[in-house]
Structure formats: structure tokens, C-alpha cells
Structure 1
Amino acid sequence: MEFFKSAVASAISKGPPFPYTFGDRVDIDTSIWTLYNGTKREDGSNCSIFSFDVTANKNRLPMAKNAVRKLRTLRHPGVIKVFDTVETESYIYIATERVVPLKWHIKRKSMSTETLKWGLFGVAKSIKFINDEASSVHGALRVGSLYTGESGEWKVGGFEVLSSMKDDEAIIYNYGSLVPDAGRYTPPELAKSGWDDIKRHPLHAVDAYNFGTLIFEVFNGDFIGGDQAGQTKNIPPTMHSSYRRLVNSNPKARVSVGNFLDQGQRNGGFFQTPLIKLTDSVDNLGMKNEEEREEFLNDLDQLSDDFPEDYFKMKILPELLKSVEFGGGGPKVFGVVMKISKKLSDDEFEGKITPAVIRLFGSPDRAIRVCLLDNLPMMIDRLPQKVVNDKIFPQMVTGFTDVAPVVREQTVKAVLTIIGKLSDRTINGELLKYLAKTSNDEQPGIRTNTTICLGKISKNLGVGNRAKVLIAAFTRSLRDPFVHARNAALLALGATADSFSEDDCANRILPAICPCLVDKEKLVRDQSNKTMDVFLQKIRKHASTMADTVLPPLTAVDASNASAPRMSTPQPNSSEAASWTGWAISSFTNKVSSTAGEMQSNGTTTPIAPRPSSVPATSEIRRPAPITASASNLHRQAVASPPATSTRTSTSSNTNEYFQDRNPSEEVDDAWGDMEEESFFDAPSETPKQTHTPSASNPFDDNGEPDFAGWLAAQSQKKPGSKPLPKGLAKPANGRPATSTRIQSTGGVGGAGAKKAAATAASVKPKPVVAKTIDTKPKETGDDEGWGDGW
């Protein structure tokens, strides 16, 4: 083989230029030609090369030259197409379209009956043309002289003895018997008297007989000799009668191939098949009207999968694409295109379908746009990512804002198909921008589908803004008036629960779901309960991994300060833990017991005996202004802040400012009620503490609020020669001690009593007193109740 190639290359180098490259040899043993696969050097396209070695076949050289001449001059769609020829003294080359010997398919029996009929139909048209229009005789019609092109169509070759009957020196007279295997296929009349006798018979007689033997051969595999002519084994019954007339022993009684073709095309004839009808009308598909196009497509739908794939790829598909783009074929034609494209290889799809799809996405025809979107799942795997992201998606986004709702809806649905071919930048930028518009569409179905779409593409969204986008979209849909939109939002939330943090679940999602628990529609209520369970389970699982507290552990100082009981969370092992009020009552009653019986009025302390448990609360004597332990402690917190070095004037000023907005005692009584009569504050029976009289060192009665007026009066009595008190704080003229009016609030100084005392003190001329530093810091009593910290 290598030697042959080198010899061919050497011969070419010595002869005329031949711009084709030889490839593998194709075995054909019944021809004067050697067939090779080849390629065109200019563009690498496929071709076939018929080679004739002059030196080895000098006696058949006229036949080879006749074939070259006839192939170049006889042009017909059913005849092998010639690209170029080269003739030298040593070789003859014919470059043609890429073909394969039909004999290969016949031996493998790889063609269906319908395909065989379709092939014979094409050959019959070519022979009719040769006999009728060209007034010629083929003379060597058989399986060995037929080929299949890249489109699967049968092509007629073997023009070695093709002759015009108008030529007196036709080659068929002298060389008809030199054709390989001529003895098996020669008509009986010529076998007896020789090929010169062809002049006395009808022009079509030889080719009609050979066409009959061809029918037997394609359906049975081999034609051995004249004895098999007329046998109908494996031949379709509808063809029997016409077939027998082709192989009639009387040449004058034979029907021509043209007549055979006409009989087959009659209504109900053997050539009336969907495949033949399709191929017969595909060339002018773009010129058909609506009814004719509809009929054509119906015939196309009737085709089964065993029809020639190559023909659909090379012939039908390009015509259908032309009809869709330019001939108004519409969605139905494009649906057939997609059906055929399933049989294309990836390279074939990229070369034939992808460019057309890109152009069609730019079409303003809404029907075509919807058809493209519907068929995207069938072709998305074969479309390169760059093509989808850079060329198809920019054209596709116009559908999000189309005025036709069906286009908007199909565009939203198509997002699920193309999402895998879009870049992260496109998804998180332009796509989300358009989905935000459709989520607020006037059509409830489009809003619902947008929610479903977001739920399904959630994993494709950027991690940084995924939760933000989904929460905003789904919680908005939970308020949608359309019931299925709300249900879709609940389903989407449940499906994307892993996308949200526990804080988002607790603070944003669960509060949004809660109104759906009482939705008017049972469908929504049931789904909201299911979705709620999903998020509650997630939150509980997270909470089980959290620490019991984030407070720092107590230090030694904190532990000593915390020795006094506080109003805090109940202890788990406490007997009162079963009641949510138990811990509060026990702590509060302990505090009341520590201050029971300590009340002060007008600067004096009156001991109060503990009330026996047998005496009802209403029998107690109500006093004008009782100060509770809680109020005393709150005031202690309030007045503990001023520094010890502050003057009397500044202390009084700050205190008045702190208490000046307090409510009068009557309002406090109304708000709090008669606390002495409430059993809630009853103190336990225990020995009361010894009361004490407030002094200058401890100017607070019962650890309560400061009595600045009483304290100043005491100071003036201690030092008679001291300077008089400031105006308003001296003793009244009648010698009665200045009283400090008490308020039953949380520590306010003022009211009617205070005003009266201030007016009396103003009428007495104050004695000069020596200014001194007053320590207003309350004495530590060790009875800190902790309310200040608690409040």
C-alpha cells in the first residue's frame, strides 16, 4: 500500500497538478476503477478519487476515457458529481463527491424495504433521464455501478459503456461485453446475437432488463444469472407485476424504466411512500403554501427511525432550517429539526444547528421564541457554554419583559435549563435583576414560577448574597394574594433551608411564616406547618450545641457582693421552680421582712410591732406616707452617686433635680394601691430589728431617702453660736421643728407639705452658720437588696 502511494505521488509529480490527497483504498472488485477516499488540499473537504492504471489495463482504456467524458458532460442529481479529472499516459484520476459502494450496504442488509424503494426510485429517475432526455443507453446498470453519497442518496456511476444511440460508432457496440461480470447481466437477446444487435431493439430495452435484475439484487443480495430474472423472492408484492414486465424475455414487450416509474407513482403505487413523497418535495419547501407545508410535515412525522439518517442530515435538515428562518416554516418545522438533530454527532450539531439557533433567538417571531425555549432541554448539552452565555442569553433576556405573558413564563422556565451554562457574574448580576422583575409580575402564574425557579437555582447563586436574595424573594411571596404563590414560597423555603443561618431562621424566616399558620387556605396552612417544623428542627439542633451562658464566671469579690439574695432566675433544683412566680415571691418577701416595722415620719422613728399572723391585714393602722423597702433601696442607689466632697448646696440642688418630676403621693397611691393591705408583701413572723433615730452621721431614716431639712435643723441646735441656716431651711417662728414631708413615691421630696415647710422657714430669720463639709454618703448597712442592679 505504501509502495502504491509513493508510486501515485511520483506519477502526480510528473503530470498535471492534482489538488487532492489520496487516502484509504475502498475495495470494489467489479470495476475497472480503483476507488480511494481523498481530501481536497485547499479546504480539507472530503472527496473520492477514481484511479485507472493505464499500464495495467490498456485494453480497457477506451472505456475509462468514455467514463470520464460522460461524467463531465452528463449532469443530473442522481449521477455522481465530478470535481476534477486528470488524464496522463500512465493514469487517469477522477475526483468526485465522497461516495461509498452500494454493494457494502446490500451485503450487510443494512437498509429497510422503504429505504430500498426510495433508492430504486432515485435510480429510476436517473435512468429515465439517460434514456429519454439524453437518448442514451447506460449498458452496465447493476449494484456494482451504484454508490451512496454522504446524504445517503443513491448515485449512478459505471459510465464505461454509456453511449448515445445517435452515435454510429458508440462504444457499447464493441466494449459492452468487456464490462466486468457482463455475462451475468447481459439481456438474453444480446447474449445470443451480440451487442451489435442492440440497434434493432427499443432504446430502453437493455436498461429496462438491467433495472429488473437490480430490483432482484437489492432485495435478495446477489444476482447469479438469467435464470433468476422474474423471480419475486423478497420483492414487495405491489411491485411484482411491473417487475416481471421489466425482465420480459421479449425486448419489445418490456416496459421502460420511465413507464415503471410512472406506475409506481400512481395513487396507491409502490413508490407512494412517505419517504419518497418527502424527498420529491423537499427541494421547494420554501415555496409551498401553508396547506402544502402542513402536508409535508405530516408526511415527515410518519417516518420511522429506520429511514436513512444521512439523507435527513444532509438534505432534509438544511431545507427545514431554511424554511424556519426565511420561509415561515414556524414552530412545527423547528420541532422536526430537533427530532432530526438527535441523530447528529456533536460536531455536526455544532456546524449545522448551533448557528441557526443563535440566529433564531434574535428573531422577533414570538412563536419561534417559545418553540426555541421549549426545545432548549433537547439541545442545551450540545451548546458550548461560551455560546450560551455570550450569544444566546443576551438575546433570551428580552423575553423577561415581553408583553406576551406566555413568552415571559417560558423564559422563566428556561432559566432552569441554561443555568448550568451561565457564568457566576451573569447569574448574580443580570439574571437576578430580571427575576426580580418577574417576581412582581402582574400574572400570578409567572410570580409563582419565579419563586420555584429561585428555589431550584439557589445552589447556583453566589454564597455572599444567596441568603439575602432568597429571604427577600420568599418572604415577599408569603404575602402574595395568590394561594399557589404562597404555597410555592413555603415549599421553596423548606427546600433551601440549608442556605440560611440559624440567626436568619429565627429572626427573619420564622416570623414571616407564622401568619401562614392561620392562612385562609388549608393548603397553605398545612404546608406552613411542615415548613415551620423544618426550621424549628434546625434551630433546636443548633441550640443544643450552644453554651448554657455567655456570662463570665464570678470572681471572689463578685461572690462576696452576691451573698445577699437577688431577684434572679430560678434555680433548677428549687422547690418553687415548678411555678414561674415562686422565685420572685420568695425573694421579695425576704426583703420585706428585713424592713418590717421601720417607718419614719417628721424626722422621728416609731417602732412598729410585728403583726401577728392571726390579725387580718385590714386591722393595721394606715400611716400617711409609708416608705417600702424597695423604695428606700432605690433612693439609696440614687443618692449614693454624689461624691463625699460635695457641698450642702450642691447636694440639695442635685437631689431636688432628681426628684422634681416625681408624681405626688396621691397618684402613687392610686398606681400601686394599699401595699400594706396586700398579702403579697406580708413579712414572715420574726423579731423586728431595733429602730434607730437618724442623726447627723446617718441622715437617712430606715435606710431610706435623705431628710435634708431635719438634718440641717439638728446641725443648728448643736451649735447655738453658729451662723443662721439659709432662708427656707431655718426653724419656724413658733419654735416647732422643721419637718420633712415624705412622699410615697420612689423617693421624691416636694408636694404640699414641702411647700408649707419652706414657707414657714422663710418667715424666720436664719442664724448664721459656719459652712462645713457635709458627708452625704449613706452609711453602709449591709442590707443591699440588689434592686438597683436588677432594674
Structure 2
Amino acid sequence: MNLFKSVVASAISSGIPNFPYTFGDRQDSEAGIWVLQNGQRRDDGSNCSIFSFDINSNKSRLPLARNALKKLRTMRHPGVIKVLDTAETDTYLYVATERVTPLRWHIKRKSMSPETLKWGLFAVAQTIKFINEEASSVHGALRVGSIYTGESGEWKVGGFEVLSSMKDDEAVIYNYGSLVPDSGRYTPPELVKSGWGEIKRHPLTSVDAYNFGTLIFEVFNGDFMGGDQVGQTKGIPPSMHASYRRLVNSNPKARISVGNFLDQGRRTGGFFDSPLIKLAEGIDSLGMKTEQEREAFLSDLDSLSDDFPEDYFKLKVLPELIKAVEFSGGGPKVFGVVMKIGKKLSDDEFESKVTPAIIRLFGSPDRAIRVCLLDNLPMMIDRLSQKIVNDKIFPQMVTGFTDLAPIVREQTVKAVLTVVTKLSDRTINGELLKYLAKTSNDEQPGIRTNTTICLGKISKNLGVGSRSKVLIAAFTRSLRDPFVHARNAALMALSVTSEYFTDDDCASKILPSLCPCLIDKEKLVRDQANKTMDMYLQRVRKFASTMPDSVLPPPTTSDATATTPRMSTPQPSEAASWAGWAISSFTNKISTAAGEIEPNSNGTPVSATRPSSAPIPNDARRLVPGTASASTLHRQAVASPAVTSARTSTSSNQNDYFQDTNAEDDNTDAWDDMQEEAFFDAPSQASKAAPSAANPFGDEGEPDFAGWLAAQAGKKPGSKPLPKGLAKSGAAAANRPAAATRVTSTASGAGLTTKKTVGTALKPKPVVAKKIDTAPKDADNDDGWGDKW
């Protein structure tokens, strides 16, 4: 910790130029010339590692540090630590690299499986082969302390302090090889005897071959203590024993190179012939593989167990698979592996590495990819935020509702159940329902059925205002679907969504729609219809039991002064009497309309009772006694024709002044039932109206202008005498025949009774002839006025 503080303090005080990294925690490593610390790039906060060399405390090893810095910047290989930046001050050397971890940590904890160890040795062997053969160089310090693991779990080669090109006569390894910490334990026996200059007289690969052998022992056993352990096979896989012994042969010329060791292990059945190593070799070229090669590769990928490095799949395999799906036609199977690896990612990792690819793939026109995405939605929906699903994925997903391929439409409908929880209410009740309305009318019966099931399952997510309306319309329509399973699905959906319907909807909309299903041709539908019907009937009956007997107000006692009876709604206990009353009332109306009003015991016709609130007819109003003056009545009589309700029929007697001018319009059938004989033979006292100002006639309502005029002449002194022909004796007025009248209107109280004679022949009564003055009339006074009446 004190060293770390001093490093940081020194860096701050010296002001590292052009080194935009922040120092973090220190990582302990094998004793070496470098101090390893975690770091972060200031620009984007990305992780890195920083190797620091203190010049003041290790001046003798400064050439080693500067050689390592130089070689790291110039050596480019996937198996070599990637350098991001370097800086040098008067006191320190800094090398910023990708984030790495010392391999010794994993070896001490024994956290790696044998397959992972072989995969790591394979990667190191490839790197050393490159250094020896392509770079014509010698690493010279290969051991566990010079190997690191990257964030993806891949093994990276470092420790380039004495890495030298054999073409360089002044190579660092010749003069400073012995300055590498713990070089005595790992130095080949020939160099121990003759020094590092002996490298020139032996094969270039011999030093690194020997060190690779000690690395194998160290990886499988933990620690390499010295030459005594060379050649021991403890912990090393048996398939590797022979090749391992040849690596650590004491004779430099008899040693096999690391490249040869690699080739032996890659043979069929060799120690490097494993699924993980095949994956490492094939992942980079996945996009260039043929269909058969890709299938074989993915089969091996599926068979990988959980002991393999998880970080490698996350950071190395996963990005390559996503690239293959997007750009190289990897297809649904590759995407299935992506989802399998995605399960091991944290939410943040999934969001940064997989979510962008998923959004892009939903816009792909490849139907196979679309179906694969929809199938895998349940695995990734919890990792996707609501905003991403609602704003980016669902707008791309809805194209599947109208796709020409039925499989795409069907999978899209099924996927609604997965995404509905991440959609906004506006999207659900607007766009989603619009597309489900289309699929509910799809030509494929299976899609229609699945749409009904989908609506039933997402009913709780629908808006309260439109939910019952949408569900009733959809389900009742499906009840008429010709596909049996669609009808059955509608019945089942109605059963599970009954809580969303009102009691009125159950009784007036749902139950009538269920009835035809009770006699469906399919027993499956009939059985389900009976279950659903029973459930709704029980609910409606339960609700009906809570309803009041009536919503009308209770009947009140009628007013004692009211003469008009009122009809009220009968109570259940009065149902029988109410029905009888209604029938008899109807019969009475018919008989009244037929004119069959029987006289009472004393011969007086029974007057029809009229409600006091009903208006008085005009005919009756003219007969009701009132306060009208005689002159007013006279003007009415002169200006108006005879009142139709008191119309008199014309007999053979031409002396009657009031003839019925509209007699030809009378409906004779309506008059056939008049009982004239009984009417005239038994006149009642009530049927005769007393003379009054409004009715100045005392002869059954027949106007007697002669008498009226005589009376007026007697009241007014000096009046002129009546014109000739209008003079009427009292006897003649008294003996005027009553049989001439066919209608007698009697105003009695508030009622008006009209009597109609029954169609029987009338026996004529003796009529006393009127005395008419036959003397010649004066020409001046005979103006025909009376003839008009």
C-alpha cells in the first residue's frame, strides 16, 4: 500500500504528460520489475491495466523495462497483451494495456478446469510459435508470472523484458537474461552452465521449448521449484506426457519446438483436440464457414459445459455470434446460442452487448430470424426495459400481424402475451387492439383461435372503459366461428373473464349469444357451453335476487272528491284480480263503442261518466246550461248550421225548420242499434233539458224560434209583430211530433248521453196537424228568410 501511495504521489507530482488514465487498485503479482494496477481511461471510463516501473529503485533493470515497453508496442498478436498507451518520466515508466489479471491468481486458487488449462496452453503455444518462427525471436522468460488473463478469459503473453530478436547481435537477452527475477529456477541447463550467450549455438526454439515445458508442469501442479521437477508428469494429462518430456529434454537439439508440440496436440484425438479449443479456432472464421461447417461448429458449441470460461463466451464468443447472425446469415440456431450465453450475463452486460443487436434484428426482413426472435422473447423480455419494448421493438414487431406467412402471424399473436406487460396503456388499447381485430378475422382458423385465447389472457391489461365492449364483441363473434376450437376458445374465454362484465351485459348480451351453442353440432362445444351458461345464469340469478320487487312508487289513496278511477300497477299478490279487471275493462269499452247502453230500472238511460279533467265536446258544450244571452244564441243560429251532435232527421213533415243538411253523410250502420221506441216511449225526467238562457227550448232540445220570438216580443213593448208564417200557437208548439227527432242530446251535469235507436220499426204516433195561416202574405215581409231554416 505504501508503494502504491508513493507511485500515485510520484505520478501526480511529476505530472505525467499525455497519459489520460486514472490509477486504481494494485494487483499483487509475482516478484518482478513491474507494479500492476487497475486503471480507467478518463475519456470514456473504460477499464484498463497500468504497468509502472520505478526507475529510482530499479536502475539496474531499467534496460529490461525499456525493452519490454518497446517490444509490447511493436509486437502485434492476439495472444500478446494489447498496449493502449505508454508514458515515460524521469522517475517512472508507464504502460497502459487492456484489463488483465495475473494467471498466478487462478493457478493458486485452482479455479480452472483441465479443459480450460489446455485451452490456455494452446493459446500460449500459438503465441510462442509466432514469436519463434514469424518474429525470429526468443521470449526467454516464459513462466506463469509472465502470463495474464484478459477480461474474456483468454491467456495473454507478457513479460517481454528479455524478448530479443536473434538477428540482433546486441540483443538484451545476451547481457541481461540473468537479471530477470527468479531466472535461476527457469533457466535451461545448458545456459546455466555456459551463460546466455550459448543461445546462439543452439536452435532458436530450444530456450522457449524448455520454458514452455516448465509452464505445463506449473499450470497443472501449482509451482515449479527447480530442475529437480523437470520431466515429472504429476497432474499432467496422460495424452500430453510424451510430448511434454520431449519439451524438457536436457539436450537442446533433441527438444521439440513449441510449434511441433502444438501440431502434435492438434492431431485427431490429440490433447488439443477438444470442443473448447475448436471453438476458439472456429469463432473468428464463423462467418466464412459453409452451412455444414457452421452446423458442426454450433453442435460443439451447444455441447460445451458450464466449466468453460464464462467470460470468454461473454466477451469473445458472444460478439462473434451476433456478428454472424446479423451479417453472415448465421440463422436462428446461432441466435439460440446467443440467448443461451445471454443467460449468464448481468442486466448491464445484456443491455450493452445484446439489446442493440436485438433491436436491429427485429427490423430484419428474414422471416426465420423474426420467428426465432419471437420464440426467444420469453428468455429476454425481463432484460429489456419498458421504453425499449414500447418504443423500438413493438413498432417493428407489429409488421408480423400482417405478414404473408401464417407462421409469422401466429407467432406474433403468441408473442403478445410476452410483451403486453411492457407496453403502455395507449399502445395496448390503440394499436395492439387494432391489429388483434385483424387477426381475429384471419383466414387461418388457428390464428383466429389464438387471437381469442390471447384476448382472454390479456383482458386484465385492457382499459377499463373499453374492456367489456371489446371482449363481448370479440368473444360473441367467435361463438359463431365455423372452426370448432375457435368456438370452444370463446366459451372458455367468456368463463375466465366474467368478472369484467356487468350483470346487465351478462343478461342482455352474453346469455343470448350462448344459447345457440347449447345445441352445437360438436359435443365439445355443447359441454363447454353448458358450463359457461350455468356460471352466467347463477350470477344473473344471484343479482336478480338482490333487486327490489318494483321500482315504481307505492300506490296512494285516491282523493275522496275524485270521480275518475285510476289504474295502478298490480302487485304480485293481485295478479289474478288485475288480469280479470283488465279483461272486463276491455269488454266494456267494446260494448260502449257498440252503443249497447241499457236503461236503468226507471227507464232513464245511464250516462257515461266523463273524467272531470276531460274537455267538453263542442256539441255538448252547446247543450250545457250556461249564461249565454238569447241574442248571442240567435246570432249563432243564424250564422251556423245545425249542430251535428244534435242533428235531427227530416221526416215527411216539411214544416220542420231544422233540417239536417248533411244527412246523406251519416253512417247508417252506426245508427242501426238505436232503440227509438224504447227511447221515446219512456222518456225520463232527466233526459229533458229545462229552458234556459243557453237552451231556451223546452221540447227535448229542439229549437223553437217561434216561441222564442214570441217571448221576446212580449218582453219588449213596442216590438214589431212576428212575420206571417212564423206565428205559432201554443197548442201547435205543444203538439209538435216528437217522433221526428232521431237524436236527443241531454245535458245532465258533467256528462253527455247520446241515445241511438235499435234497428226496429217505429210505430207512428198520431200527429196533431199544425194550424198554418194560409192567408196571403205581404210581399214586403216575405223575403224567404224563414225558408233558409
TM-score normalized with structure 2 length: 0.77
User: Are the counterparts in 1 of residues 449 and 485 from structure 2 also a CA contact under 8 Å?
Assistant: yes
What is the aligned-residue identity percentage?
Answer: 68
2:499 corresponds in structure 1 to 498
2-structure distance, mates of 1:232, 1:52: 37
Task: Work out the CA distance in 1 between the residues paired with 2:325 and 2:331.
Answer: 6
Residue 449 of structure 1: how far off its partner (Å): 0.7
Task: Trace 1:211-250 onto structure 2 (pairs within 5 A).
Answer: 211-250=212-251
C-alpha spacing 1:556/1:80, structure 2 compared with 1 (3 Å): same
Q: How does 1:334-353 map to 2 (within 5 A)?
A: 334-353=335-354
Q: Partner of 2:434: helix, strand, or coil?
A: helix
Alpha-carbon distance in 1 for matches of 2:501, 2:284: 59
Structure-1 residue corresponding to 2:458: 457
1:290-312 deviation per Cα after TM superposition (whole angstroms, max 9, x unaligned):
22222221221121222112222
The 3-state SS of whatever aligns with 1:319 is helix
Counterparts of 2:494 and 2:341 in 1: how far apart (Å)?
41
1:168-567 equivalences in 2 (<5 Å): 168-557=169-558
- 1:628 maps to none
CA distance in 1 between counterparts of 2:683 and 2:614 reads 20
Return the alpha-carbon distance in structure 1 between the equivalents of residues 24 and 671 of structure 2.
Answer: 117
Question: Does 1:647 pair with 2:604?
Answer: no
| Counterpart in the other structure of 1:706 | none
8 Å contact kept, 2:83–2:96: yes
List runs of 5+ in structure 1 lacking aligned partners.
Answer: 575-580, 608-631, 667-692, 700-709, 741-748, 768-791
Q: Distance in 1 between matches of 2:645 and 2:424?
A: 69
Which residue identity lines up with residue 619 of structure 2 in the other structure? T
TM-aligned CA distance change 1:73 to 1:602, over 3 Å? closer
1:606 CA drift (Å): 7.9
Report Cα offsets for 1:476-530 as digits up to 9, x if no partner. Answer: 1111111111111111111111111111111111111111111111111111122
Opposite residue 125 of structure 2, the aligned amino acid is A
Contact 1:566 1:587 in 2 (8 A): no
Counterpart code for 2:189: P
What residue number does 1:84 align with?
85
In structure 2, what is the equivalent of residue 165 of structure 1? 166
SS in 2 for 1:278: helix
Once the two structures are TM-superposed, the CA of residue 17 in structure 1 deviates from its matched residue by: 2.8
Amino acid paired to 2:283: V
Local SS of the residue matching 1:568 = coil
**Equivalence for 2:127:** 126
Query: Match for residue 682 of structure 1?
Result: none
What is the DSSP-based 3-state SS (H/G/I as helix, E as strand, rest coil) of the residue aligned with 1:504? helix
Q: Give the corresponding residue for 1:776.
A: none
Q: Cα–Cα, structure 1 residues 12 and 537, in superposed 2: closer, same or farther, change >3 Å?
A: farther
* Residues 392 and 585 of structure 1, relative CA distance in 2, 3 Å threshold: closer
Give the secondary structure class of the aligned counterpart of 2:329. coil
Separation in 1 of the partners of 2:596 and 2:429?
Answer: 75
C-alpha contact 1:474 1:489 (8 A) present in aligned 2? yes
Question: Is this contact kept in 1: 2:40–2:46, CA < 8 A?
Answer: yes
Q: What do the CA deviations read for 1:362-412 (whole angstroms, capped 9, x no partner)?
A: 111111111111111111111121111111111111111111111111111
- Superposed CA offset, 1:565-608 (max 9, x none): 9893443xx9xxxxxx866688789999x99xx9996854589x
Is 1:723–2:702 an aligned residue pair? yes
**Aligned-pair distance for 1:725?**
11
In 2, distance between residues paired with 1:61 and 1:138? 18
Residue 731 of structure 2 is matched in structure 1 by: none
Q: What is the root-mean-square deviation in Å for CA atoms of aligned residues?
A: 4.2
- Residue 665 to residue 455, structure 1, CA distance change in 2 (3 Å): farther
- CA distance, structure 1, for counterparts of residue 359 and residue 448 of structure 2: 28
| Aligned-pair CA distance for 1:636 | 6.2
CA distance in 2, matches of 1:45, 1:655: 116
Distance 1:655 1:288 in 2: 117
Tell me whether 1:4 sits opposite 2:11 in the alignment.
no
Flag the 1:439–1:694 CA change in 2: closer, same or farther, 3 A.
farther
Q: Are the counterparts in 1 of residues 350 and 383 from structure 2 also a CA contact under 8 Å?
A: yes
- Structure 2 unaligned spans of 5+: 624-642, 648-665, 673-681, 706-734, 745-752, 771-789
CA distance in 2, matches of 1:377, 1:401: 22
Q: 1:123·1:154 contact (CA, 8 Å) conserved in 2?
A: yes
CA-CA distance at 1:202 after TM superposition: 2.1
Instruction: Please state how far the C-alpha of 1:81 moved relative to its aligned partner.
Output: 1.0
- What letter corresponds to residue 166 of structure 2 in structure 1? M
Given residue 258 of structure 1, which amino acid in structure 2 is its aligned partner? G
Q: For residue 11 of structure 1, report the CA deviation from its aligned partner.
A: 4.6
Report the 3-state secondary structure (helix = DSSP H, G, I; strand = E; otherwise coil) of the residue aligned with 2:284: helix
3-state secondary structure, aligned to 1:557:
coil
AA aligned opposite 1:400: F
How far has the Cα of 1:469 moved from its partner?
0.7
What is the letter of the counterpart of residue 446 of structure 1?
A: I
User: In the alignment, is the contact (CA less than 8 A) between 1:603 and 1:739 conserved in 2?
Assistant: no
Task: Name the CA distance, whole Å, in 2 between partners of 1:636 and 1:367.
Answer: 91
SS of the counterpart of 1:60?
A: helix
Which of the pair has more CA radius of gyration?
2
Deviation track 1:84-103 (CA, whole Å, cap 9, x = no partner) reads: 22223311111111111111
Partner of 1:138: 139
Contact 1:220 1:234 (8 Å CA) reproduced: yes
2: CA distance between counterparts of 1:265 and 1:199?
Answer: 30
Given that 2:14 and 2:89 are in contact with CA atoms closer than 8 Å, whether structure 1 keeps it comes out as: no
Give, in angstroms, the shift of residue 109 of structure 1: 1.5
Contact 2:689 2:701 in 1 (8 A): no
Post-superposition CA distance 1:298-355 (Å, at most 9, x none): 2211212221122222221221111111111111111111111111222221112111
Classify 1:183/1:551 alpha carbon distance in 2 versus 1 (closer, same or farther; 3 Å).
Answer: same
- Aligned partners of 1:199, 1:153: CA distance in 2, in Å? 33
- Which residue identity lines up with residue 295 of structure 1 in the other structure? A
The alpha-carbon distance between structure 1 residues 12 and 516, as it changes in their structure 2 partners (threshold 3 A), is farther
Contact 1:37 1:48 in 2 (8 A): yes
Residue 16 of structure 1, CA deviation: 3.4
Closer, same or farther: CA 199–694 of 1 in aligned 2, 3 Å? farther
Secondary structure of 2:285 counterpart:
helix
- The residue matched to 1:465 in structure 2 has which SS? helix
**AA aligned opposite 2:324:** S
Evaluate the alpha carbon distance shift between residue 6 and residue 640 of structure 1 in structure 2; reply closer, same or farther with a 3 A threshold: same
Partner of 2:464, secondary structure, is coil
**Cα gap change, 1:551 to 1:30, in 2 (>3 Å):** same
Equivalent positions of 1:8-87 (< 5 A) are 8-13=10-15, 16-87=17-88
Contact kept? 2:69, 2:95, Cα under 8 Å = yes
CA contact (8 A) 1:600 1:606 kept: no
Structure 1 stretch 547-556 or stretch 90-99: which is displaced more? Answer: 547-556
Distance 1:654 1:502 in 2: 58
Q: How many angstroms apart in 2 are the aligned matches of 1:637 and 1:180?
A: 135
Change over 3 Å in CA distance of 1:665–1:491 after alignment to 2: farther
Q: Show CA shifts across 1:84-133 (max 9, x none).
A: 22223311111111111111111122212111111111000001111111
- Cα 1:760–1:638 change in 2 (3 A) is farther
Alpha-carbon distance between aligned partners in 2 of 1:755 and 1:365, rounded to the nearest angstrom: 98
Matches of residues 776-787 of structure 1 in structure 2 within 5 Å? Answer: none
Contact 2:619 2:644 survives alignment (8 Å): no
